């Protein structure tokens, strides 16, 4: 019988990999290794989806996001509408009412102007629907081959009520986890479009602005403290968002698999590709950690809103193990819902 | 959803577990040889559900894990050539070679692309006639028909810039090797459902008879695996040793004949090295001589190398079911999905990755 031996360990990673951008633990490591040490301040250290600044007695929320989606157009949206929704949602989950946006365009030489016009029209419509305007912007053009047609960065400012504090370090044991609707639609819509995969039922991106839903939830809360924090689970999916909160708050979480809504079409696509819906991006959903006694009320308010009809209580915050998200499967057994390290790779056979 | 939801039904699962508890009278050791099945077992905690007398060990069923280091190194070498576009399944990109991996080659400027099927590589070859397109054709019998189709099509289209780096492995010789080993503890096998969808299960009958071992072809959902385990235990308790089929909605005894015919046309059986295990005679597939123009080994005149892998990760023992991932000193410490030491931690279908993702707190008093 031949010798049994093992492979050589890899040298230390010294290059940026695609996985560093997928919202998983590689990206988190990059934050810790490069960005946080450089931009060393208390606001950034909170690692929320937005920064809350106290400016002469007024609380402003400030956030930025870049959009590099490929393809530019997909069922349910395009890079323009996405650029608005993504930034509005980062403001919204901080409890902010969005005020205005900036929009910076990095355009690849050769992009048809007609394409740019379509994207800009869509961006404008999305902003108008969200009740805001693009008040400042920038345009750069890069040589052919240096970009994927079009990249957009949007930054947003919003107003936060004086007594509202939604931060990822506020979750407490006993709190309930509320999810506003079914997961995995945006990511699957993108990959289906990109790879030319056709499913019997088309999956559309759920891209949507959530500040109205958030406002309804805040209005329904008995006390300002009842909603601890909120996140919109974009890249890295529901799992990454929950793991981040669990880490920031140093709590555990227990999810109920049966309670997490996943559409049939998304389930089917995930089965085919070997993806786990928990890791697939969403662009029109939020997860909220709320005080247990307020959960029913807030859930009712969510379900009364068009973007929250399928809202569910999907789990509970536990004291331990700190930083770990666990799941009770449909069979009643337990497993971990881990942070992805990099990109989710489709399975082979 | 058809074919899936019914097989995840909790009530059915609990019923099967109860039935198992009634049937089992002594310890049995069972093995599955399919990364997808390993993951279902871990994901749904099947090993925690079933009676403790039944021990599940995981076999070398992950196609990524068993791909020889030499093939990874060859793929990396090709990807580093300026005129070559290497197309591969996603998981292979993260597997450690001797010095680096395909993902790092890609980050360094190599043209490495992820595909869901080898037909996409054919399309790339058609679209980029000035480049040499190489598809990394690994896997068990499951992926062989698609790879055979791609090569067959390439020849039909007269493509001059397409080739495949082939490293297929076959399941029955691996079972034979495991059963012939003096250290074998496995008393029953779950045969891989998708391999058998292609190949049927005739080949397992001689194995079952010769070694007096029950083999049940199983599917991939929790209820499938519980049924397969139940059928194996029934045989063991009754002293039978036969081949049975649990995955009847997908598998027939003869398998998919057109697929087998195409494989036969393009491939021939050869000796194959399995990473971590070593050479298993007649356990692989390679392209026939008539298809030399599409064999990357011949097209690029790749030398046969032997790579020494120093001992630290115990993938070999994990792949043969001799150790569990949690028994490895490096598990979760020096070896994690972000910094894998061995292939079973890299692949979505690897045993170590499954344990790490779903079970790593088990050691800490769960």
Q: What is the pLDDT of residue A343?
A: 65
Domain co-membership, A94 together with A199: no
A1 touches chain B (CB under 8 A): yes
Within a domain: residue A20?
A: no
Within a domain: residue A15?
A: no
Domain co-membership, A85 together with A218: no
User: Which chain B residues touch A274 with a CB distance below 8 Å?
Assistant: 348
CB nearest to B309's CB, from A1, A7, A273: A7
Domain of A267, CATH number, reads: 3.90.650.10
Tell whether the model's pLDDT for residue B70 goes beyond 50. Answer: yes
By C-alpha distance, the chain B residue nearest A192 is B116
Phi, psi dihedral angles at B238 (to 5 degrees): -90, 0
CA A53, A54, A60, A65: dihedral to nearest 10 degrees? 0
- Distance CA(B321)–CA(B58), nearest Å, equals 5
Tell whether the model's pLDDT for residue B299 goes beyond 80. Answer: yes
Within a domain: residue A12?
A: no
User: Which chain A residues touch B140 with a CB distance below 8 Å?
Assistant: 349
Phi, psi dihedral angles at A66 (to 5 degrees): -115, 145
Give the 3-state secondary structure of A325-341: EEEECCCCCEEECCCCC
Q: Give the SS3 label for residue A110.
A: coil
pLDDT band for position B348 (50/70/90)?
low
Domain co-membership, A98 together with A72: yes
Domain co-membership, A185 together with A299: yes
Mean pLDDT of chain B: 90
Going by C-alpha positions, the residue among A52, A86, A55 that lies closest to residue A158 is A52
Q: Residue A39 gets which letter from DSSP?
A: S
Q: What is the ipTM for the molecules in this complex?
A: 0.75
Domain co-membership, A182 together with A152: no
Give the 3-state secondary structure of chain B: CCCCHHHHCHHHHHHHHHHHHHHCCCCEEEEECCHHHHHHHHHCCHHHHCCCCEEEEECCCCHHHHCCHHHHHHHHHHHCCCCEEEEECHHHHHCCCCCCCHHHHHHCCCEEEECCCHHHHHHHHHHCCCCEEEEEEEECCCCHHHHHHHHHHHHHCCCCCEEEEEEEECHHHHHHHHHHCCCCCCCEEEEEHHHHHHHCCCHHHHHHHHHCCCEEEECCCHHHHHHHHHHHHHHHHHCCCCEEECCCCCCCCCCCHHHHHHHHHHEEEEEEEECCCEEEEEEEEEECHHHHHHEHHHHCCCCCCCCCCCCCCCHHHHHCCCCCHHHCCCECCCECCCCCCCHHHHCCCCHHHHHHHHHHHHCCCC
Q: What is the pLDDT of residues B135-187, one digit of tens each?
A: 999 999 999 999 999 999 999 999 999 999 999 999 999 999 999 988 899 99
By C-alpha distance, the chain A residue nearest B198 is A349
Q: What is the mean pLDDT of residues A227-251?
A: 94
Tokens of B107: 């980050």
Query: For chain B, which domains are there?
Result: 5-61+172-245 (3.40.50.11750), 64-170+255-299 (3.40.50.11740), 315-361 (no CATH)
Query: What is the biggest distance separating any 2 CA atoms in chain A, rounded to whole angstroms?
Result: 76
Listed in sequence order, the residues at least 6 apart from A12 whose beta carbon sits closer than 8 Å to its beta carbon are none
pLDDT band for position A2 (50/70/90)?
very low
Q: What is the pLDDT of residue B195?
A: 95
Q: What is the pLDDT of residues A190-219, one digit of tens each?
A: 988 887 777 777 899 999 999 999 999 999
- Distance CA(A306)–CA(A320), nearest Å, equals 35
Do the chains contact at A349 and B63, CB–CB below 8 Å?
yes
Do the chains contact at B310 and A8, CB–CB below 8 Å?
yes
Q: What is the pLDDT of residues A38-82, one digit of tens each?
A: 998 888 888 888 899 999 999 999 999 999 988 999 999 999 999
Domain co-membership, A97 together with A215: no
Adjacent-strand bridge partners of A54: A59
User: Which chain A residues touch B314 with a CB distance below 8 Å?
Assistant: 6
Do the chains contact at B45 and A331, CB–CB below 8 Å?
yes
Q: What is the pLDDT of residue B240?
A: 97
Last residue of a domain, one of A129, A159, A189: A159
- Distance CA(A128)–CA(A132), nearest Å, equals 6
Torsion sign (Cα): A53, A55, A57, A61: negative
Q: Give the SS3 label for residue A266.
A: helix
By C-alpha distance, the chain B residue nearest A265 is B1
- Distance CA(A74)–CA(A191), nearest Å, equals 9
Query: What's the domain range around A93?
Result: 49-159
How many domains does chain A fold into? Answer: 2
Q: What is the mean pLDDT of residues B316-340?
A: 80
pLDDT band for position A12 (50/70/90)?
very low
Domain co-membership, A88 together with A201: no
Domain co-membership, A253 together with A290: yes
Q: What is the pLDDT of residues A119-158, one digit of tens each?
A: 999 999 999 999 999 999 999 999 988 778 999 999 999 9
Q: What is the mean pLDDT of residues A282-289?
A: 97
In chain A, residues 65-124 whose CB comes closer than 8 Å to chain B: none
Tell whether the model's pLDDT for residue A10 goes beyond 70. Answer: no
Q: What is the pLDDT of residues B94-111, one digit of tens each?
A: 888 888 899 899 988 999
Strand (E) or helix (H) holding A47: none
């Amino acid at each position: 019988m031949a010798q049994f031996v093992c492979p050589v360990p890899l040298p230390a990673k010294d290059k940026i990999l695609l996985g560093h951008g997928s919202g998983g633990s590689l990206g988190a490591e990059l934050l810790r290794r490069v960005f946080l040490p450089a931009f060393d301040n208390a606001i950034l250290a909170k690692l929320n989806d937005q920064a809350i600044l106290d400016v002469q007695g007024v609380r402003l929320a400030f956030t930025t996001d870049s959009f590099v989606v490929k393809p530019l157009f997909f069922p349910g949206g395009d890079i323009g509408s996405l650029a608005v929704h993504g930034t509005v949602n980062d403001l919204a989950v901080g409890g902010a009412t969005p005020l205005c946006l900036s929009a910076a365009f990095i355009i690849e030489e050769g992009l048809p102007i007609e394409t740019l016009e379509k994207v800009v029209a869509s961006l404008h419509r999305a902003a108008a629907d969200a009740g805001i305007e693009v008040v400042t912007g920038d345009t750069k053009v890069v040589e052919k081959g240096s970009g994927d047609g079009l990249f957009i960065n949007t930054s947003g400012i919003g107003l936060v009520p004086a007594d509202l504090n939604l931060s990822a370090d506020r979750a407490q044991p006993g709190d309930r986890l509320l999810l506003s609707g079914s997961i995995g639609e945006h990511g699957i819509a993108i990959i289906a479009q990109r790879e030319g995969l056709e499913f019997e039922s088309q999956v559309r991106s759920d891209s949507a602005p959530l500040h109205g839903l958030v406002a309804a939830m805040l209005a329904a809360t008995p006390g300002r403290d009842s909603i601890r924090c909120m996140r919109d689970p974009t890249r890295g999916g529901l799992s990454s968002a929950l793991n981040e909160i669990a880490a920031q708050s140093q709590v555990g979480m227990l999810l109920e698999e049966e309670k997490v809504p996943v559409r049939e079409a998304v389930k089917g696509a995930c089965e085919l590709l070997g993806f786990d819906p928990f890791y697939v991006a969403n662009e029109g959903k939020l997860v909220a950690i709320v005080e247990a006694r307020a959960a029913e009320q807030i859930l009712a308010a969510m379900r009364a809103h068009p973007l929250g009809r399928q809202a569910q209580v999907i789990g509970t915050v536990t004291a331990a193990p700190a930083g770990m998200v666990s799941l009770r499967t449909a069979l009643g057994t337990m497993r971990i819902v881990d942070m992805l390290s990099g990109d989710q790779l489709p399975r082979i056979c | 959803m058809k074919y899936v939801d019914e097989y995840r039904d909790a009530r059915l699962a609990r019923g099967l577990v109860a039935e198992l508890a009634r049937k089992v009278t002594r310890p049995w050791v069972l093995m599955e040889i399919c990364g997808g099945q390993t993951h279902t077992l871990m994901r749904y905690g099947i090993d925690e559900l079933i009676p403790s007398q039944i021990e599940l060990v995981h076999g070398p069923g992950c196609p990524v894990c068993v791909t020889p280091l030499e093939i990874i190194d060859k793929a990396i070498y090709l990807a580093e050539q300026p005129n070559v576009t290497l197309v591969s399944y996603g998981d292979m990109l993260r597997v450690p070679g001797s010095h680096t991996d395909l993902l790092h080659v890609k980050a360094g400027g190599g043209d490495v692309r992820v595909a869901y099927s080898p037909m996409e590589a054919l399309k790339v070859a058609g679209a980029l006639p000035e480049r040499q397109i190489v598809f990394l054709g690994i896997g068990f019998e499951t992926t062989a028909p698609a790879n055979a189709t791609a090569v067959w099509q390439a020849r039909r289209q007269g493509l001059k810039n397409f080739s495949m780096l082939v490293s297929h492995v076959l399941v029955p010789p691996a079972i034979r090797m495991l059963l012939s080993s003096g250290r074998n503890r496995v008393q029953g096998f779950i045969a891989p459902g998708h391999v058998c969808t292609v190949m049927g299960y005739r080949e397992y009958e001689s194995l079952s008879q010769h070694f007096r071992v029950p083999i049940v072809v199983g599917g991939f959902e929790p209820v499938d695996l519980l049924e397969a385990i139940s059928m194996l235990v029934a045989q063991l308790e009754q002293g039978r040793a036969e081949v049975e089929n649990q995955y009847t909605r997908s598998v027939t005894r003869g398998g998919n004949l057109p697929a087998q015919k195409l494989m036969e046309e393009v491939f021939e059986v050869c000796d194959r090295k399995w990473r971590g295990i070593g050479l298993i005679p007649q356990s692989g597939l390679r392209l026939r001589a008539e298809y030399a123009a599409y064999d990357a080994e011949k097209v690029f005149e790749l030398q046969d190398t032997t790579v020494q892998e120093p001992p630290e990760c115990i993938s070999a023992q994990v792949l043969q079911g001799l150790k569990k991932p949690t028994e490895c000193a490096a598990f979760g410490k020096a070896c994690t999905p972000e910094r894998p030491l061995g292939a079973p931690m890299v692949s979505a279908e690897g045993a170590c990755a499954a344990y790490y993702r779903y079970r790593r707190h088990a050691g800490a008093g769960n």
